[in-house]
């Protein structure tokens, strides 16, 4: 309930901003069709994109480094089976409870926002995690850059083809399938999807297999690309303990740093009078210039 309360407060805070400072709604461009969103929902969309630009989704929204990126915290709701419920049970969710109705109301808003953000360039998704915890279901917010997904599914057809995926497969189908797959196929798929280089994906999968076989954790180092809020911990991948970063690692780092610097130069032009980032306008203007 605590996590649910936090997400409820987030939506209420976003909605309450309407009375203090209006975003420049006239700046909506044809990048997104948001005419059917309420002002509160528009603010939710803007805050979601703002979070993405300040974190690793920058490299999906304004770069080609990551076919998909996470958009922040997982949403968490008390909707999953409890301990006394079983596989195949029909009555799992109490539709009359206040917590369920609040969860469905929030999820309806998020789905509406994500649908409005999805277009020919991007698709936005709310994907439930396979595993649950104490009756709670977590869902992840993801953004997919469509052209990069097409390229990835084509280049890695020998791997993704095992599920019947082709270059024009629906990203939502790919993401949902992968989330519910076996451990090491899931690791490899997510590694490719999140933009990690082949040698890092190979190492992570091989380390997982080794740990399954021996019970021993494989030590590792981490290679970090900076994001606006922090130098490490977001766009990060694992490498062997004694590994020296290669030219390809350095190339990824330099490309990320160049994009981050470009974003940091753009950002001051899109800060409103209350200090909030007008992410929708920034992205619309940037894509209209491409």
What is the value of pTM for the model shown?
0.87
Q: Minimal CA–CA distance to 77: which of 100, 44, 97, 109?
A: 100
* Tens digit of each residue's pLDDT (9 = 90 or more) over 182-218: 999 999 999 999 999 999 999 999 999 999 999 999 9
Q: Look at residue 24 and tell me whether its pLDDT is greater than 50.
A: no
Strand partners, 240: 220
The whole-number pLDDT of residue 290 equals 60
Q: Per the structure block, which two tokens stand in for 41?
A: 């929902």
Give me the numbers of helices (H) and strands (E) for the chain, helices first please. Answer: 11, 6
Q: What's the maximum distance between 2 C-alpha atoms anywhere in the chain?
A: 60
The whole-number pLDDT of residue 8 equals 43
The whole-number pLDDT of residue 2 equals 39
Decide: helix, strand or coil at residue 76. strand
Q: Look at residue 273 and tell me whether its pLDDT is greater than 80.
A: yes
CA distance 76 to 281: 29
| Low-confidence winner among 91-105, 158-172, 260-274 (lowest mean pLDDT) | 91-105
Q: Where are the domains of the chain?
A: 1-151
CA-CA distances (angstroms) from residue 94 to 100, 105, 107?
7, 14, 16
Decide: helix, strand or coil at residue 257. helix
Percentage of the chain lying above the pLDDT 90 cut? 77
Q: Look at residue 250 and tell me whether its pLDDT is greater than 50.
A: yes
pLDDT mean across residues, the chain:
89
Terminal CA-CA length for the chain: 44
Q: Look at residue 104 and tell me whether its pLDDT is greater than 50.
A: yes
Contacts of residue 143, defined as CB under 8 A and 6 or more positions apart, other chains included, come to 52, 57, 60, 61, 68, 69, 71, 117, 122, 123, 124, 125
* Tens digit of each residue's pLDDT (9 = 90 or more) over 41-52: 999 999 999 999
Is residue 175 a contact partner of residue 68, using CB atoms and an 8 Å limit?
yes
| Positive or negative: CA dihedral 183, 64, 146, 132 | positive
* Tens digit of each residue's pLDDT (9 = 90 or more) over 52-69: 999 999 999 999 999 999
CA distance 202 to 54: 29
Q: Minimal CA–CA distance to 134: which of 73, 78, 75, 74?
A: 78
Q: Per the structure block, which two tokens stand in for 12?
A: 């209420």
Q: Give the count of beta carbons closer than 10 Å to the beta carbon of residue 206.
A: 13
Annotate 222-252 with b (16+ C-beta within 10 A) or e (fewer).
ebebbbeeeeeebbebbbeeeeeeeeebeeb
Which pLDDT band holds residue 30 (cuts at 50, 70, 90)?
Answer: low
The whole-number pLDDT of residue 27 equals 42
Q: Look at residue 26 and tell me whether its pLDDT is greater than 50.
A: no
Q: Look at residue 14 and tell me whether its pLDDT is greater than 90.
A: no
Strands 136-145 and 122-133: antiparallel
């Amino acid at each position: 309930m605590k996590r649910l309360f936090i997400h409820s407060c987030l939506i209420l805070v976003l909605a309450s901003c309407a009375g203090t400072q209006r975003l420049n709604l006239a700046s909506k461009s044809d990048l997104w069709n948001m005419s059917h969103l309420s002002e509160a929902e528009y603010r939710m969309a803007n805050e979601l994109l703002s979070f993405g630009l300040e974190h690793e989704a920058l490299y999906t929204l304004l770069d080609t480094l990551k076919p998909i990126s996470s958009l922040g915290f997982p949403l968490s709701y008390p909707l999953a089976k409890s301990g006394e419920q079983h596989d195949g049970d029909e009555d799992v969710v109490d539709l009359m409870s206040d917590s369920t109705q609040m969860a469905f109301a929030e999820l309806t808003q998020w789905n509406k926002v994500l649908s409005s953000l999805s277009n020919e360039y991007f698709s936005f998704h709310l994907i439930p995690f396979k595993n649950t915890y104490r009756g709670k279901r977590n869902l992840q917010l993801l953004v997919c850059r469509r052209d990069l997904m097409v390229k990835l599914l084509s280049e890695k057809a020998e791997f993704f083809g095992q599920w019947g995926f082709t270059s024009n497969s629906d990203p939502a189908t790919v993401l949902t399938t992968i989330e519910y797959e076996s451990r090491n196929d899931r690791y490899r798929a997510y590694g490719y999807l999140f933009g990690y280089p082949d040698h890092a994906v190979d190492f992570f999968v091989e380390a997982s297999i080794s740990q399954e076989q021996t019970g021993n954790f494989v030590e590792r180092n981490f290679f970090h690309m900076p994001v606006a809020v922090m130098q490490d911990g977001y766009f990060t991948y694992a490498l062997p303990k004694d590994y020296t970063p290669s030219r390809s690692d350095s190339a990824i780092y330099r490309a990320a740093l160049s994009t981050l610097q470009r974003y940091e130069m753009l950002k001051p032009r899109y800060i409103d009078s209350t200090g909030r980032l007008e992410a929708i306008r920034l992205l619309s203007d940037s894509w209209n210039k491409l």
